[in-house]
Amino acid sequence: MLTFLVVSAAVFLCPLAICSPCIANNLPPKPALVGHRGAPMLAPENTMLSFRKSMECGVVAFETDVQLSKDMKPFLMHDNGPSFLLRTTDVKEKFLGRDADMHANFTLQALQTLNAGEWFVRTDPFQSVSSLSKEEKREANNQSVPSLSELLVMAKKHNVSLIFDLKNEKNSTGFHNSDSYYTAETIEKSGISPDKIWWLPTEYRHDVRKVTPGLKQVYNNVQEMYADGGSFLNMKYSFLSTHEISELRKNNVSVNLWVVNERWLFSLLWCSGASSVTTNACHILKSICSPFLIHVGLSEYVTPLESFPNMYMGIWVSADVISLLLMFGLFLWQNLEHKCTT
C-alpha cells in the first residue's frame, strides 16, 4: 500500500516538473522577422524581387550573402567556391566552359548578364511556385544577380536593416585587400544610417569599426560578445536552450535565431523571448497573432497559447481528481467484494 501511494503521488505531482516557456502568464513581444535571402519561398533567393517580397511581410532586416567580383564590387550570392553560379544562374549556357570558375573570375557587369531566376521557377525548391500568379512567375523568371549597392538603396529607402555573411573573407591577405574593407566602403558610400547595418563578420571587426563607426555589432558566440562588450547575438536556434534565451533577454541582449520556418518552433522561441528570427517563411509567420500549441497525432490541430497556462492547470487538476475518484472507487469496490466473500 505504501509503495502504491508513493507511486500515485509521483504520477499526480509529476506535471510540476514540466518546464516550458509557454506555460507562463507573461507573454513576451512577438519576435521581429528577418528575411533569409529575402523571401525565398516566394521568389528566387538573393534577388531584388525576393527582398521586395520580404518587405511585404514587414521584415525588420534583410539577411544576405556578400562576395567580391573581379573588379572588387560586392554582389549578392550564397553559394561560393568553384561552380558557385551553377545552382542559381544560367552560367553554363551564358559562359561556356566557365561554370566552375570562382567569384574573382567575373566582373560585376558579367555577373549581371546572368539569369538568376529561371532556376527557381523550374526546380520549385519549396514547392511554392504553384501558388504564384502568371505575372509573378514571369517576374521571377527574369531576375539578375544584384549588387550590394542596389540592396543598400532599397534598405535605406524603406528603413530596413541589413545583416550578411562575407562568403570569402578568410581568403583575404589583409584588411585593405579584404571583403570587409570593400563592403564597408560600399556601405559608407550608400549613405545608409550605420545603425541599420548589423555587422556580423568577425575577421576584421575592429578594423571595420575604425573605418565605419556606428555599425551595430552582432556576434555568433556568447563569450566573444561579452568579451567585446556587445549586446546582440545571432545564432542557430538549436544552439541555445529556451532558458538561455530568456536569461540573455533579461540581460538586455538582443537575440536573433536562424533559420526558423515552422509555426510551432516560432511559437516556442516567441515564448522564450527571442528578439527576432531569420526565416524563409516570412509570409507564414507574419500572420501568427499569438503562439500556437501544436498537437500531432492522427490529425493536427492548433490551439492559441494565450490562455494555455489556465487550460493546462485545468487539465492537470481534472485528470488528478478523476484518477483519485476512480482509485478510491475501485478500492471501495474491492473492499466490499472482499467482505461479501468472507
Q: What's the CA gap between 149 and 187, in Å, rounded?
A: 8
Q: What pLDDT, in 10s, does the model give residues 241-254?
A: 999 999 999 999 99
pLDDT value at residue 309: 57
**Residue ranges per domain, the chain?**
28-289
Q: Are 116 and 88 in contact (CB under 8 A)?
A: yes
Distance CA(291)–CA(260), nearest Å, equals 14
Q: How far apart are CA 49 and CA 261, in angstroms?
A: 20
* CB contact burial 176-204 (16+ within 10 A = b; e otherwise): eebbbbbbbebbeebebeeebbbbbbbeb
Residue range 328-338, pLDDT digits in tens: 788 788 878 77
Instruction: Enter the pTM of the model.
Output: 0.84
Q: What is the reported pLDDT for 294?
A: 44
Is domain 28-289 annotated with CATH 3.20.20.190? yes
> Helix or strand or coil: residue 239?
helix
Which residue blocks in the chain are alpha helix, DSSP H?
2-13, 48-55, 91-94, 108-111, 118-123, 134-140, 148-158, 179-190, 205-211, 222-227, 242-250, 263-272, 282-285, 308-341
Q: Which tens digits make up the pLDDT trace of 105-120?
A: 999 999 999 999 999 9
Looking at per-residue confidence, does 102 or 8 come out higher?
102
Which H or E run contains 119? helix 118-123
- What is the CA 285 to chain-centroid distance, rounded? 11
pLDDT category, 24, cuts 50, 70, 90?
low
Q: How far apart are CA 323 and CA 330, in angstroms?
A: 11
Tell me the per-residue pLDDT of 156-192, one tens digit each, with 9 for 90 and over: 999 999 999 999 988 778 999 899 999 999 999 999 9
pLDDT tens readout for residues 198-235: 999 999 999 999 989 999 999 999 999 999 999 999 99
Residue 4 near residue 31 (C-beta atoms within 8 A): no
pLDDT score of 326:
82
19 — pLDDT class (breaks 50, 70, 90): low
